[in-house]
Amino acid sequence: MTARIIVDAWMAAMTCCALGLMFNAVRPRGLPIVATEAYEIFVPCPEPLGEVEGLNALDQRITEDRVLIIDARDKDEFSAWHLPSAQNIPFDYLEGVPEATVRKVASSGALRVVVYGDGQDPDSGRELARELAGRGVRNVFFVLGGAPALRGGAKGTSEEGR
């Protein structure tokens, strides 16, 4: 009984292969059985990253009016310390920023968007700023050194979580 099943399966497979090859041969632009040129295996995905400028933690442009300040660190770090007017948009290296968040930032009416992150390499603030700039938000900057630089030197910082 097992031998009969194997023979039937083999016959079905060969019949399907023969039908597929015949259909491919009759087709005007049939698929090549053997590749005539090498296929490119790795195709880099386009990254929608824009160009952004880094600001020193003591730069006056950070504290000017009509500046939207974004903290790219996770919620726990944001709760522990952040600039008083900062909004928290945690940056995830694997998932992009939701379109609704990008629209909210773009429609904020701010003259400048300043993003700060964890200050590591790569800096989450710089990467979030590049993503926002690449998705159409203009006048996006990031703080060199991130939150540690701001905490050590900027005026008007908040020591308690808000």
Q: Does residue 88 belong to any structural domain of this protein? A: yes
Q: Does residue 42 belong to any structural domain of this protein? A: no
> Does residue 162 have a pLDDT over 60?
no
CA distances from 19 to 8, 14, 23, 24, 161 (A): 16, 9, 6, 9, 69
**What are residue 80's phi and psi, to 5 degrees?**
-70, -40
Q: Does residue 48 belong to any structural domain of this protein? A: no
Q: Does residue 111 belong to any structural domain of this protein? A: yes
CATH number of residue 124's parent domain: 3.40.250.10
**What are residue 68's phi and psi, to 5 degrees?**
-90, 120
Q: Does residue 118 belong to any structural domain of this protein? A: yes
Q: Does residue 87 belong to any structural domain of this protein? A: yes
Q: Does residue 14 belong to any structural domain of this protein? A: no
Can you tell me which residue has the tokens 């910082």? 157
Average pLDDT over residues 44-65: 87
**Total domains, the chain:** 1
How do residues 85-103 score in pLDDT, each as one tens digit? 999 999 998 888 999 999 9
Task: Print the domain residue range for 65.
Answer: 53-153
Average pLDDT over residues 33-45: 76
User: What angle is formed at CA 116 by the lines to CA 67 and CA 132, rounded to 5 degrees?
Assistant: 70
Q: Does residue 73 belong to any structural domain of this protein? A: yes
Residue 81: predicted pLDDT: 94
